[in-house]
Structure 1
Amino acid sequence: MKTEKDIEEILDNVKIPSDEEVEAAGMRFDRRIRRLRMRRRVMWATGSVAAVLCCGLVFTSLWMNRGVKENLGVVGIPRVLTTDHQVVVPTLILADGNKLNLKEREADSTAGKSNIRITDDRVIYDTMPAVREIVYNRLIIPAGFTYNVTLADGTEVTLNAGSSLKYPEIFVGKQREVELSGEAYFSVAKSDIPFEISVGGSKIRVYGTRFNVKERPQKAIETVLIEGKIGFKSPGHKEVRVVPGELVSYDMASAGIKVQPVDVQYATAWLDGVFRYRDKPLDLVLEDISIWYGVSFESREGLDKIEVTMNLNKTTPIDEVVSFLEKITNCKFIEERGHYTVK
């Protein structure tokens, strides 16, 4: 029979998890439960007529590309991400390296910065007088989230999942510069000082405007102008001026630039929490789904020839999204531990 001393020795050797370990485990569990309980809301603006048209488009696309099915080849759609894989919630990294979990309300008090305020879904920076030194913060948004930041000059930015933004706490001197990785919607405060965004080796110069920027790593940079004016400059090219309602895209492989008119509602649909596409190539649709849900797809060639028209809420569980795509594209998705093979 064990004595009281023996029991005390056993208890001393029991490892009790730290508060940080318990918190991290809780966040992982909460994230899984949240995904499993996502409500499905499929919105078709034109009802059954739209469904018939969609089926017709898919059938036509599959018929025109029926020969492609025999030409199989494996192409990888990148799993995401430009962000830190260890980040599971929106996270703010301060200049001193301190990391703040932005889903915790107490982050407001732990920031320790008089010019930073944190609310439920936004970081707000206030201008501080007599600041000369530029210090940078970095906002990281993982899969399954979007988040907002109001910069010190009043510029408002919404970041999509799988994105990060590096920016100064306070803009100093005659420059307003930020660095984007991923996708974001900007509403830039008007000023005589130009606002410049570095993204994927290219630069976007702004003078007070609203626009959407999307980087497809190692593939393309796409910018859609909603209001105002911007200048887009990529390596080896002169600055290209864009007017509202236009898309400027830079192809990293060919180093080519293309400007074309677009329907801006599709470029900004993610702000409304939906996947909204009209005649969008399936491979590009899968890229967006990969980033939002944090999954990966390995597919055959020819998916860029299949066009998808759909309107799905982003709260739809991933298995239901995949099932829906199977029905409208005649493709088969085989899942194993978050990785999908498309046949």
Structure 2
Amino acid sequence: MEQQQLPYNIAELIFKHFREGLHPDEQARLNTWLAADAKNRALFESFSNPAILEKEMAFFDRLDMAADWEAVAVRAGYDTSRSARPRRRLLYWSAAASILLAAGTFLLWPNRPATAPAQLASAAPAASPQPGGNKAMLQLSNGQTVSLGQLAGDTVLSEGGSRISGQSGQLVYDEAAASEAVTYNTLTTPRGGQFRLTLADGTQVWLNASSSIRFPTRFTAKDRTVELTGEGYFEVAKDHKPFYVSINGMKVVVLGTRFNVMGYNGITRTTLTEGAVKIQLAGDRSWNLKPGQQALVATGNDVTIMPADIDKALAWKNGLFYFKDDAMADIIAQLARWYDVEVSVKGPMPTRLFSGNIRRQASLAQVLDMLGYVSGAKSAVEGRTVTIQF
């Protein structure tokens, strides 16, 4: 069984075992998992302790499952106005997985210390940093900026002949008339922000925190070019005109495809989920990617093509922090961007790698508590500064 499946499959079985009992085939699956590793049996037995189970349930009762589902569904493009029955079922099992997410973290971080979870050195104040959300600034061609935090659904802007309609968490551009001059807009997300954009050709872009995209209000007959900093996920509308994403001195060349581009700290990762793209560097150097592959372009333009972990690459878009063999420094950097905090690290950083996941709508205090579970770190929050002691 793959690691990322444990919180959903095994957590569901454990939840049902304690709440309503299992069917014979389900019990057989659980027994197989229990027999596979002594750590699995120890974990299962710990949840037979009512005090521990009550503590974990209380920990996750503070999460707003409905709000989490809404946020994830909107970002993923689902219609949240559909009938409530499938949604209730999803929320039921999401709640089950959430109640046992601590267990999932144990399973995915097998080398965690055996000690109890480290508590915050000081209780997080009522106004402690919260998870990020739909926040961005739109800069028009005349230099005017528009805050897009909670743009009303009937908001309409006009720019370069394009009609820009605003919805909660996204902007949609209509194609301008060919007679109009091409103007450029820039959409920028702050730390703790994200936003969704539909370009004039129908291409959809999800923009992660601390990112920006510069784009024309309409595309010319020659090509479609945008400039990206930070991280974005693209679903490119099919067209005979090529689509270019310029980032960190390189270009991603596509015709119609789905891919993710991350370019923080001078390192660019391009992950292809569907179609075909070309990574193009100066000097007419280029590399073709197939679905399921990732291109890593490091400082100095060293290029490595490797199999991609699609779940990991797209986790941010789907509302998750997903770590798999990640350095603690990289984990802390992601948390700092999403919660818009400055992190001060004291003591030697762990050298081992970590794996696991938790929803991006969890509070900062909950994430730091999880960090304490898996690394033994103690954390304190003061304003927008987080101190982590290893």
For this structure pair, what is the TM-score category when the shorter chain's length is used for normalisation?
Answer: 0.7 to 0.9
The question of 1:322 aligning with 2:368 is answered: yes
In the TM superposition, residue 152 of structure 1 has moved relative to its aligned partner by 0.8
User: How do residues 1-343 of structure 1 correspond to structure 2 at under 5 angstroms?
Assistant: 39=64, 43=97, 50-58=104-112, 89-102=135-148, 103-105=150-152, 108-109=155-156, 111=158, 115-131=163-179, 133-218=181-266, 220-235=267-282, 238-252=285-299, 254-299=300-345, 303=349, 305-342=351-388, 343=390
Structure-2 separation of matches of 1:341 and 1:174: 51
3-state SS in 2 of match to 1:56: coil
Matches of 1:203 and 1:258, distance apart in 2: 15
The two structures have a TM-score, normalised by structure 1, of 0.72
TM-superposed deviation, 1:143:
2.8
Check the 8 A contact 2:157/2:164 in 1, yes or no: no
Per the normalisation by structure 2, the TM-score is 0.64
CA spacing shift, 1:319–1:59, aligned 2, 3 Å: closer
Give % identity: 28
Distance 2:368 2:280 in 1: 37
Spell out, residue by residue over 1:70-113, the C-alpha distance to the aligned partner (whole angstroms, 9 max, x if none): xxxxxxxxxxxxxxxxxx93221111122222223288245476
Q: How many angstroms apart in 1 are the aligned matches of 2:262 and 2:99?
A: 26
3-state SS in 2 of match to 1:283 = helix
Quote the Cα distance in structure 2 between the aligned partners of 1:182 and 1:119: 23
Give the CA deviation at 1:165.
0.7
Contact 2:102–2:370 (Cα < 8 Å) also in 1: no
Q: Is the 8 A contact 2:162 2:217 kept in 1?
A: no
Secondary structure of residue in 2 paired with 1:320: helix
> Secondary structure at the residue paired with 1:115?
strand
- Structure 2 gaps of 5+ residues are 1-61, 69-94, 115-133
Structure 1 residue 296 displacement after superposition: 2.2
* Cα 1:339/1:313, change in 2 over 3 Å: same
Judging by fraction of residues, say which structure has more helix: 2
RMSD: 2.9
Q: Is the 1:306–1:329 contact (alpha carbons within 8 Å) kept by the matching residues of 2?
A: no
- How far residue 45 of structure 1 moved from its aligned partner, in angstroms, is 10
